[in-house]
């Protein structure tokens, strides 16, 4: 039986039938000459070349992953460098389209499908959105990258790179304004505030930081004096040239599948309503544990929660990572105390760090799969893990379970306002009200959430969509297998290939169910 799957894949006889046929791939032709080698060796070579080239194009990402031989470099933001990178990606996708499937194993077919999806969506986003002309996302764009620039200016090469980077970003934004592209005012205001803060920190540091502060100051001055007065007042990405197509491409990049905005919006509404009922059942009145950031008080709470997780997960997982569990308390410190445990379980075990560690301990996976993958899977698993921790009895008290419900509601709310703003043209006030009316968090905190959604279209949809899919697959497997259902085996099947698209995940679970049923 052959059927068209929602994720842009043809499924014929399970994973053995994977091949990519998304519209973005069809736009790119095959190269005239390709390596005439064994298809498996060819895929290994192409995956390595793709990953190495991607790190060289984004040295800040390489640095975050521990690759230190690019420490004195920054991304080249010039139009010529962008054209070279797009040509490289088109060549990678062209090669990937040419690799024959017949001699590839199941795992290799998954790698090929993921490579085509990742590169194809990157090309589609650039073609539809031209983000270098307007992107000022404080989370993942220039603003977020600034936090990694502490060492630049301490060497001559680093200072040259920083100056070239800031001047290139300014030139791109000027080109964007000349061609109808602009960042929304809230995103510009956030970037300015972040630049001011970082510039002050650098100025107050060692004398070697003075050149860094000067470079950041020039960028902040440009944004404040020239860019902000003419930044677009409309907050929806649909206001850009080709805006609706851009949002579709961004949603595809975030979710790995083509899903209607109305369907995503409806899912956000349903999930937020469900979370709201749970919140009210746990705390009919406002809780002081949701009023202010936890700060340093989060650290012992996080460490105790993760220790309970370390001791309490064995029955829920057939395989656990060999790597030790490392506590990351920075994220929890910025949120109210009631949410500390939910954030610990999401970021640590059984959440993102557990899934990442398992992927990194599979040397047969290509580097681009061990070090990354579809965010709908990674973020969806992290959110699913917060609820799994509750099932395993890992939350310490009712207040911590309230924090879980609020975190779940916030993920649903992000999905709701992302699609509301960028797909349905909501205004900022309406988006903030949609959250404030249903979530017991301080309004300034919710305003920050909305401003992040404004700055990064499509970034807020992945977690809730992925979590719902994992939860749905688990419920279906339990229904069909009955007493033969094993939770540890289910989680092993979800995580065994690292982060994958939801389409591939559905096939993995279906094949597992069929094997269990056949075994009797």
User: DSSP assignment, residue 2?
Assistant: E
Taking the domains of the chain in order of start, what are their residue ranges? 2-130, 142-239, 255-464
Nearest to 53 by CA among 81, 32, 79: 81
Q: What is the pLDDT of residues 38-86, one digit of tens each?
A: 999 999 999 999 999 999 999 888 888 888 787 778 889 999 999 999 9
> What HEC string does 326-392 produce?
CCCCHHHHCCCHHHHHHHHHHHCCCCHHHHHHHHHCCCCCCHHHHCCCCHHHHHHHHHHHHHHHHHC
Q: What is the pLDDT of residues 268-327, one digit of tens each?
A: 999 999 999 999 999 988 899 999 999 999 999 999 999 999 999 988 999 999 988 887
Nearest to 413 by CA among 223, 271, 231: 271
Cα–Cα distance for residue pair 35/42, rounded to 1 Å? 7
Cα–Cα distance for residue pair 24/249, rounded to 1 Å? 9
Q: What is the pLDDT of residues 2-33, one digit of tens each?
A: 232 333 332 333 443 343 333 333 333 344 44
Three-class SS state of 212? helix
Q: What is the pLDDT of residues 146-162, one digit of tens each?
A: 555 555 656 777 788 88
Cα–Cα distance for residue pair 334/332, rounded to 1 Å? 5
- φ/ψ region of 2 (left if φ > 0, alpha if ψ in -120 to 50, else beta) reads beta
* Number of residues that this document lists for the chain: 520
Cα–Cα distance for residue pair 111/144, rounded to 1 Å? 29
Nearest to 458 by CA among 261, 165, 194: 261
Q: What is the pLDDT of residues 178-221, one digit of tens each?
A: 999 999 999 999 889 888 877 776 555 555 567 778 888 899 99
Which residues, including other chains, have CB under 8 Å from residue 291's CB and lie 6 or more apart? 336, 442
Nearest to 463 by CA among 376, 404, 386: 376
Q: Which residue has the tokens 């620039």?
A: 149
Cα–Cα distance for residue pair 222/171, rounded to 1 Å? 11
Task: Take residue 73 and report the two structure tokens written for it.
Answer: 């470099």
């Amino acid at each position: 039986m052959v059927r068209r799957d929602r994720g842009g894949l043809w499924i014929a006889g399970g994973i053995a039938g994977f091949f990519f046929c998304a519209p973005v791939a069809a736009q790119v032709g095959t190269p005239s000459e390709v390596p005439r080698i064994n298809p498996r060796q060819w895929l290994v070579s192409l995956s390595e070349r793709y990953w190495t080239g991607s790190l060289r194009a984004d040295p800040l990402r390489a640095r975050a992953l521990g690759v230190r031989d690019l420490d004195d470099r920054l991304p080249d933001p010039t139009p010529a460098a962008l054209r070279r990178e797009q040509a490289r990606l088109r060549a990678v996708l062209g090669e990937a389209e040419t690799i024959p499937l017949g001699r590839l194993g199941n795992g290799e077919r998954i790698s090929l499908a993921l490579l085509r999806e990742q590169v194809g969506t990157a090309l589609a986003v650039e073609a539809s959105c031209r983000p270098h002309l307007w992107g000022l996302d404080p989370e993942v764009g220039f603003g977020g990258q600034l936090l990694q620039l502490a060492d630049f200016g301490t060497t001559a090469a680093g200072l040259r790179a920083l100056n070239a980077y800031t001047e290139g970003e300014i030139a791109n934004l000027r080109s964007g304004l000349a061609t109808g592209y602009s960042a929304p005012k809230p995103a510009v205001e956030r970037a300015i505030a972040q630049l001011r803060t970082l510039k002050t920190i650098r100025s107050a540091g060692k004398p070697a930081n003075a050149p860094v502060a000067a470079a950041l100051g020039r960028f902040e001055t440009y944004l404040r004096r020239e860019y902000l007065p003419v930044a677009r007042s409309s907050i929806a990405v649909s206001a850009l040239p080709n805006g609706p197509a851009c949002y579709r491409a961004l949603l595809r990049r975030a979710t790995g599948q083509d899903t209607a905005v109305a369907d995503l919006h409806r899912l956000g509404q349903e999930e937020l309503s469900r979370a709201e009922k749970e919140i009210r059942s746990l705390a009919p009145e406002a809780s002081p544990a949701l009023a202010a950031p936890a700060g340093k008080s989060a650290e012992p709470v996080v460490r105790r929660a993760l220790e309970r997780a370390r001791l309490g997960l064995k029955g829920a997982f057939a395989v656990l990572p060999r790597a030790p569990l490392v506590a990351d308390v920075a994220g929890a410190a910025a949120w109210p105390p009631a949410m500390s445990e939910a954030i610990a379980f999401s970021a640590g075990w059984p959440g993102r760090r557990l899934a990442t560690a398992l992927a990194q301990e599979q040397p047969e996976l290509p580097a681009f799969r061990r070090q990354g993958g579809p965010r709908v899977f990674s973020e969806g698993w992290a959110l699913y893990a917060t609820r799994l921790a509750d099932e395993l009895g890992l939350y310490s008290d009712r207040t911590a379970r309230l924090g879980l419900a609020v975190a779940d509601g916030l993920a649903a709310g992000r999905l709701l306002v992302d699609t509301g703003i960028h797909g349905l043209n909501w205004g900022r006030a309406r988006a903030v009200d949609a959250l404030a009316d249903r979530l017991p968090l301080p309004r300034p905190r919710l305003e920050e959430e909305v401003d992040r959604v404004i700055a990064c279209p499509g970034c807020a949809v992945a977690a809730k969509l992925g979590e719902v899919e994992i939860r749905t697959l688990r419920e279906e497997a339990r229904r069909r297998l009955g007493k033969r259902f094993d939770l540890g085996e289910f989680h092993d099947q979800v995580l065994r290939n690292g982060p994958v698209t939801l389409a591939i995940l559905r096939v993995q679970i279906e094949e597992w169910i069929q094997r269990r049923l056949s075994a009797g």
